Structure 1
């Protein structure tokens, strides 16, 4: 049976963004929306699409997990040798998008990117489950592998190597901080007249404006 992709649509009715509800600091609203996404029991409410730009100017996007909100920045962790890590080494800027369909909300972020300190990366790595730590060591993320069996054997070898001992943070693994320069809040509304509020950080303060849908 053929699916009419062009005919798929939703009518958004859950809420709106009134000027009276918009704080001067958008991070306050962002935290509130993240908390509401968590409380609504959405699957992986901290999942975000991270877009980077390669050395030759081609965009890449993938889903990663938000792991912290600090003042005017958000944080995530990954393998520094992955495709995203290589992109950020050459072009330390990124765009991020959160989509919470159950709440009919989207948040878009743009900003510059820097590595977190080794101490901060170590602290988060040590909080991870043991299996995740082993996986970080076993995977040369984004590199080709002969087959899944090869990956499994590498994991088993790493597991034996660190048996009954603390698993250290790999030097090739750690965190990034996206310092937010722009953040846009999107709330679905009926008749496709959606609410869009864009905040821009300029001259050491936040300014915002309403955008047409």
Structure 2
């Protein structure tokens, strides 16, 4: 009897909890580490829950011969607060998505067609490398450096999913060479010679 009396207030209280079905992002507001503020439910429309961009082939006419089309919260407000997002990866023959990390999400990559060599490096510097074919999936743990390369002679396509609507992205090469970090410091911290640093900065638009 005492056990029943103890749990009764919990049962009664739980009936007054209001569950929020969704929190479509108000992109005009400020983004915080926990996401965007919610739109008023009266302003939410079906289109907020639909994103058609992953059906469009990306433009791979660039230095890396690859294109990533993201369906993160900024492009897809309906995923705000739901712990999920996606992206499309197009790789021309020889194309590469350079070493990068997603600080806020684990990535699951599904190969739609083509052959992709992909891998990641653990915090103990162990390398996990695999050639993927159509239908394969590979997981890249949160925050670890990873990459994808077209390993075939035809274009490759993959779809990535993330367990965050805001996975974050930091590309290693851009972080080192596409900003104004002084070349002398880059040389010292990467063991590259000064000429190599200046060449890479010029290639990627960096200064310093």
With the shorter chain as reference, the TM-score category is: under 0.3
Query: TM-score of the superposition, structure 2-length normalised?
Result: 0.24
If each structure's strand is expressed as a fraction of its own residues, which one has the higher value? Answer: 1
TM-score by length of 1: 0.23
Q: Specify which structure has the higher proportion of helix.
A: 1
Structure of higher CA gyration radius: 2
